[in-house]
């Protein structure tokens, strides 16, 4: 299949697309598009909203920042604003490939150790990369929301109204509850369903239901850890 057929196939015929991906595990095309979209989103954010507004908003809700001397707080914000364009662009380039690497390593371990699947790391990594295709649409939606919304009300950390957390007040809501609410996201669930489909196809002898159970179970464990951390240290 061509790369265009693969990318569209993941959306409309995921089983057929993932069969081709497992047979010829090229992983870079979806990552390249996701990275470009992330960089465009950040460039739009810097012009439309600005990092200074972003960090001042964080300072208003951060107890540590509020306890600082006003001059020291201002100096910290200025330093953050100066570093932000470089730091966020580096994160945009490396975050998705590294995240796919970690996810692939976890599911390679699970599927080979506990399910006896005959899959290679390259296959699992390619499946993970193509499962992240919904992030392209997430970036497009985030840009649309940013352009339509008042810059003061745009939240870069939770830009799309596709999870319960988008309708909660990040300041007054308990940190553990806000963390839980933002975790249940439509794009995340879409990615998990694609991941379960791709792993099932790549493993061949593993049913979709079994694959979905392990994928959703791993995600649920991550949410428990994340929510517990927010409750303990939020």
pLDDT digits (tens, 9 = 90+) for 165-222: 988 887 788 888 989 999 999 999 999 999 999 999 999 889 999 999 999 999 999 9
- Alpha-carbon distance of 106 to 116, in angstroms, equals 14
- Whether the CB-CB separation of 132 and 30 falls below 8 Å is answered with yes
C-alpha closest to that of 185 among 135, 228, 130, 125: 135
Percent of the chain with pLDDT over 70: 100
pLDDT band at 66 (very low <50, low <70, confident <90, very high): confident
98 versus 1: the higher-pLDDT residue is 98
- Whether the CB-CB separation of 155 and 170 falls below 8 Å is answered with yes
pLDDT band at 234 (very low <50, low <70, confident <90, very high): low
Question: In terms of C-beta distances under 8 Å and separation of at least 24 residues, what long-range contacts does 46-51 make, across chains too?
Answer: 46/85, 48/146, 48/147, 48/151, 48/154, 49/146, 49/151, 49/154, 49/156, 50/151, 51/80, 51/81, 51/84, 51/85, 51/88
| Beta carbons within 8 Å of 24's beta carbon, 6+ residues apart | none
pLDDT at 136: 96
* pLDDT(21) > 90: yes
pLDDT band at 228 (very low <50, low <70, confident <90, very high): very high
pLDDT band at 40 (very low <50, low <70, confident <90, very high): very high
What is the three-state SS of the chain? Answer: CCHHHHHHHHHHCHHHHHHHHHHCCCCHHHHHHHHHHHHHHHHHHHHHCCHHHHHHHHHHHCHHHHHCCHHHHHHHHHHHHHHHHHHHHHHHHHHHHHHHHHHHHHHHHHHHHCCCCCCCHHHHHHHHHHHCCHHHHHHHHHHHHHHHCCHHHCCCCCCCCCEHHHHCCCCCCCHHHHHHHHHCEHHHHHHHHHHHHHHHHHHCCCCHHHHHHHHHHHHHHHHHHHHHHHHHHC
pLDDT at 61: 73
pLDDT band at 223 (very low <50, low <70, confident <90, very high): very high
For residue 232, report the phi and psi dihedrals to the nearest 5 degrees. Answer: -80, -35
- Alpha-carbon distance of 198 to 186, in angstroms, equals 18
pLDDT band at 106 (very low <50, low <70, confident <90, very high): very high
∠ CA(216), CA(221), CA(224), 5° rounding?
125
pLDDT tens, residue by residue, 77-104: 999 999 999 999 999 999 999 999 999 9
pLDDT tens, residue by residue, 112-157: 999 999 999 999 999 999 999 999 999 999 999 999 989 888 888 8
234 versus 165: the higher-pLDDT residue is 165
């Amino acid at each position: 299949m061509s790369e265009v057929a693969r990318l569209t196939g993941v959306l409309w015929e995921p089983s057929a697309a993932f069969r081709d991906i497992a047979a010829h595990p090229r992983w870079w095309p979806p990552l390249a598009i996701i990275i470009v979209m992330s960089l465009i989103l950040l460039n739009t954010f810097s012009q439309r909203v600005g990092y200074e507004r972003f960090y001042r908003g964080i300072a208003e809700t951060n107890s540590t920042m509020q306890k600082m001397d006003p001059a020291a707080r201002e100096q910290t914000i200025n330093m953050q604003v100066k570093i932000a364009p470089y730091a966020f662009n580096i994160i945009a380039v490396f975050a998705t490939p590294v995240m796919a690497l970690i996810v692939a390593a976890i599911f390679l371990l699970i599927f080979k150790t506990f399910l006896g699947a005959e899959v290679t790391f390259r296959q699992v990594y390619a499946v993970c990369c193509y499962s992240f295709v919904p992030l392209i649409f997430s970036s497009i939606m985030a840009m649309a929301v940013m352009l339509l919304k008042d810059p003061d009300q745009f939240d870069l950390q939770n830009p799309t109204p596709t999870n319960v957390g988008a309708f909660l007040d990040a300041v007054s809501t308990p940190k553990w509850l806000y963390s839980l609410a933002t975790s249940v996201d439509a794009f995340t669930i879409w990615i998990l369903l694609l991941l379960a489909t791709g792993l099932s196809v790549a493993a061949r002898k593993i049913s979709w239901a079994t694959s979905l159970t392990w994928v959703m179970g791993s995600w649920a464990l991550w949410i428990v850890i994340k929510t517990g951390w927010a409750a303990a240290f939020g």
